[in-house]
Amino acid sequence: MQAGEIKNIRNVAFISHGGAGKTSLIETILFNAKATNRIGSVDNGTSIMDFDPVEISRKITINPKISTIEWNKHLLNLVDTPGYANFLHETKAALSAVGGAVVIASAISGIKAETERVWKFSEEFDLAKLIFVNKMDKERADFYRTLGDIEQSFNITPIPLYLPIGKEDNFKGIVDLTRMKAYEYPSEPTAEFKEVDIPADMEGNVEKYRNKLLEAISETDDTLIEKYLEGEEFSEEEIFMGIREATISKRFIPVICGSATKNVGSKFLLESIINFMPSPLQREQKEAKTKDTGETMYLNPNDNDFVAYVFKTFIDPFSGKLSIFRVYSGEISCDTDLYNPNKNEMEKFTQLYLLQGKNFIKTDSVKAGQIAMVNKLKFTDTFDTLCSNKKKSCIIPPVELPEPVLSFSLVPKSKEDEEKVSTGLHKLMEEDLGIRITRDEQTNELILSGMGQMHIEVVTEKLKKKFNVDVDLKTPKVPYKETVKASAKGQGKYKKQSGGRGQYGDVWIEIEPNERGAGFEFIDKIVGGVIPKGYIPAVEKGIREAATEGVLAGYPMIDFKVTLYDGSYHSVDSSEMAFKIAASMAFKKVAMEAKPVLLEPIVNIDIFVPEETVGTVIGDLNSRRGRIQNVEPQTTGQHISAEVPMAEILKYAPDLRSMTGGRGMFTIEFSHYEEAPSHITEKVKEEAGSNK
Nearest Cα neighbor of 117 from 64, 157, 81 is: 81
Q: Clarify whether residues 496 and 426 are in a common domain.
A: no
Residue 572's CATH number? 3.30.230.10
Q: Is residue 96 part of a domain?
A: yes
Please, what's the b/e burial string for 671-684 (b: 16 or more CB within 10 A of its CB; e: otherwise)? eebeebeeebbeeb
Whether residue 405 is predicted with pLDDT greater than 80 in this model: the reply is no
| Cα–Cα distance for residue pair 56/49, rounded to 1 Å | 10
Q: Clarify whether residues 485 and 468 are in a common domain.
A: no
Q: Give the residue from 574, 594, 614 where a domain finishes.
A: 594
Q: Clarify whether residues 155 and 248 are in a common domain.
A: yes
Give me the amino acid identity at 29. I
| Cα–Cα distance for residue pair 678/660, rounded to 1 Å | 32
Whether residue 610 is predicted with pLDDT greater than 80 in this model: the reply is yes
Residue 144's CATH number? 3.40.50.300
Phi, psi of 320 (to 5 degrees): 80, -150
The percent of residues above 90 in pLDDT, for the chain, comes to 62
Q: Clarify whether residues 436 and 470 are in a common domain.
A: yes
| Cα–Cα distance for residue pair 280/77, rounded to 1 Å | 12
**Residue 338 CA to chain centroid, in angstroms?**
29
Q: Clarify whether residues 458 and 585 are in a common domain.
A: no
Whether residue 3 is predicted with pLDDT greater than 70 in this model: the reply is no
Q: Clarify whether residues 468 and 451 are in a common domain.
A: yes
Please, what's the b/e burial string for 551-567 (b: 16 or more CB within 10 A of its CB; e: otherwise)? bbbbbbbbbbbbbbebb
For position 668, what pLDDT does the model report? Answer: 77
551-566 residue pLDDT tens: 999 889 999 999 999 9
Residue 72 burial (C-beta neighbours within 10 Å; 0-12, 13-18, 19+): exposed
Least confident of 339-348, 599-608, 634-643, 655-664: 634-643
Q: Clarify whether residues 386 and 528 are in a common domain.
A: no
Q: Which domain holds residue 182?
A: 6-282
Q: Clarify whether residues 187 and 48 are in a common domain.
A: yes
| Cα–Cα distance for residue pair 289/398, rounded to 1 Å | 11
In DSSP terms, 606 is beta-bridged to 641, 667
Q: Is residue 90 part of a domain?
A: yes
Is residue 438 very low, low, confident or very high in pLDDT (cuts 50, 70, 90)? confident
- Are 171 and 264 within 8 A, CB to CB? yes
| Cα–Cα distance for residue pair 644/648, rounded to 1 Å | 7
Indicate the number of domains in the chain: 5
Residue 616's CATH number? 3.30.70.240
Residue 189 burial (C-beta neighbours within 10 Å; 0-12, 13-18, 19+): middle
Phi, psi of 47 (to 5 degrees): -65, 135
Is residue 690 very low, low, confident or very high in pLDDT (cuts 50, 70, 90)? low
**Residue 280 CA to chain centroid, in angstroms?**
26
User: What rounded mean pLDDT belongs to the chain?
Assistant: 90
How many Å is the Cα radius of gyration of the chain?
A: 32
155-209 residue pLDDT tens: 888 999 999 999 899 999 999 999 999 999 988 877 688 999 999 999 999 999 9
Q: Is residue 74 part of a domain?
A: yes
> Which run of H or of E encompasses 326?
strand 320-329
Q: Give the residue from 349, 366, 395 where a domain finishes.
A: 395
Three-state secondary structure call for residue 4 = coil
| Cα–Cα distance for residue pair 576/559, rounded to 1 Å | 26
| Cα–Cα distance for residue pair 38/22, rounded to 1 Å | 17
| Cα–Cα distance for residue pair 305/316, rounded to 1 Å | 30
Q: Is residue 554 part of a domain?
A: yes
For position 1, what pLDDT does the model report? Answer: 62
Q: Clarify whether residues 120 and 22 are in a common domain.
A: yes
Greater confidence (45 vs 366) lies with 366
> Which run of H or of E encompasses 421?
helix 418-431
| Cα–Cα distance for residue pair 315/492, rounded to 1 Å | 58
Q: Clarify whether residues 469 and 491 are in a common domain.
A: no
Q: Clarify whether residues 169 and 246 are in a common domain.
A: yes
Q: Is residue 671 part of a domain?
A: yes
Q: Clarify whether residues 318 and 205 are in a common domain.
A: no
